[in-house]
Amino acid sequence: MNYINYTDFLKSKHIIDMPHGFDVDVKNLNTNLFEWQALITRWMLKKGRCAAFEDCGLGKTIQQLAWAQQVCEHTNSNVIVFAPLSVATQTAREGEKFGISVTVCRTQADVKPGINITNYAMMEHFDANKFSGVVLDESSIIKSFTGATTQALIDKFRNTPYKLCCTATPAPNDYMELGNHAEFLGVMKRSEMLASFFIHDGGDTAKWRLKGHAESAFWEWVSSWAVVLQNPADLGYEQDGYNLPPLNIVEHIIGEAPERLAQTLSERREARKASLPERVAKCAEIANKADGAVTVWCDLNAESTALTSAINGAVEVTGSDKDENKVRYMADFSAGKSSVLVSKPKIAGFGMNWQHCNTVIFCGLSDSFESYYQAVRRCWRFGQTRPVTVHIVTSAAEGAVRANIERKQADAMKMAKEMSKYTKEIMNENIKATTRTYDKYEPKTVMQLPQWMEAVS
Checking if the pLDDT of 161 tops 50, the result is yes
pLDDT band for position 16 (50/70/90)?
low
> By C-alpha distance, which of 188, 123, 119, 127 is closest to 160?
127
Q: Are the CB atoms for 415 and 176 separated by under 8 Å?
A: no
| 270 vs 16, more confident | 270
Residue 13 confidence class, pLDDT cut points 50, 70, 90: very low
Of 6-15, 87-96, 424-433, minimum mean pLDDT range? 6-15
Distance CA 398, CA 299 (A): 14
Confidence of residue 447 (pLDDT cuts 50, 70, 90): low
Select the more confidently predicted residue: 350 or 94. Answer: 94
The shares of helix, strand and coil residues in the chain, as percent rounded to the nearest 5, are: 45, 20, 35
- Segments of 309-387 assigned E as strands: 314-316, 340-343, 357-363
DSSP element (H, E) containing 374 = helix 369-377
- Percent of the chain whose pLDDT exceeds 70: 83
For the chain, state the CA radius of gyration.
24
CB-side exposure of 358: number of CA atoms within 13 Å? 15
Among the residue ranges 43-57, 140-154, 189-203, 271-285, the one predicted with the least confidence is 140-154
Q: How far apart are CA 102 and CA 448, in angstroms?
A: 54
Q: Which domains does the chain have, with CATH numbers?
A: 6-240+413-431 (3.40.50.10810), 247-399 (3.40.50.300)
Most confident of 124-138, 223-237, 437-451: 124-138
Helix (H) or strand (E) holding 296: strand 293-297
Bigger pLDDT: 222 vs 15: 222
Report the DSSP pairing between strands 357-363 and 388-395: parallel
54 contacts 227 by C-beta, under 8 angstroms? yes
Residue 451: band (very low, low, confident or very high) from pLDDT cuts 50, 70, 90: low
CA distance 378 to 365: 17
Any long-range contacts for 187-190 (C-beta under 8 Å, 24+ apart)?
Answer: 187/17, 187/49, 187/225, 188/15, 188/17, 188/221, 190/145
> In the predicted model, what is the mean pLDDT of residues 417-446?
60
Greater model confidence, 65 or 416? 65
pLDDT score of 246 more than 90: yes
Residue 115 three-state SS: strand
Lowest mean per-residue pLDDT among 265-269, 312-316, 384-388, 389-393 = 265-269
Of 212 and 453, the one with more pLDDT: 212
pTM: 0.81
Which residues is 247 bridged to in the sheet? 388
CA pair distance 57, 230, nearest whole angstrom: 10
Average pLDDT over residues 120-129: 95
Measure Cα distances from 430 to 184, 414, 419, 436 in Å: 22, 24, 15, 6
**CA end-to-end span of the chain:** 24
Give, to the nearest 10 degrees, the angle between helix 35-47 and helix 60-75.
40
Q: Is the pLDDT of residue 8 over 60?
A: no
As a whole number of angstroms, the distance between CA 364 and CA 9 comes to 54
Angstrom distance (rounded) from CA 59 to CA 41? 11
Using the predicted structure, report yes or no on whether residue 355 has a pLDDT greater than 70.
yes
The phi, psi pair for 137, rounded to 5°, reads -85, 145
Residue 248 has pLDDT above 50, yes or no: yes
- Sheet of strand 247-254: strand arrangement: 247-254, 388-395, 357-363, 293-297, 340-343, 314-316
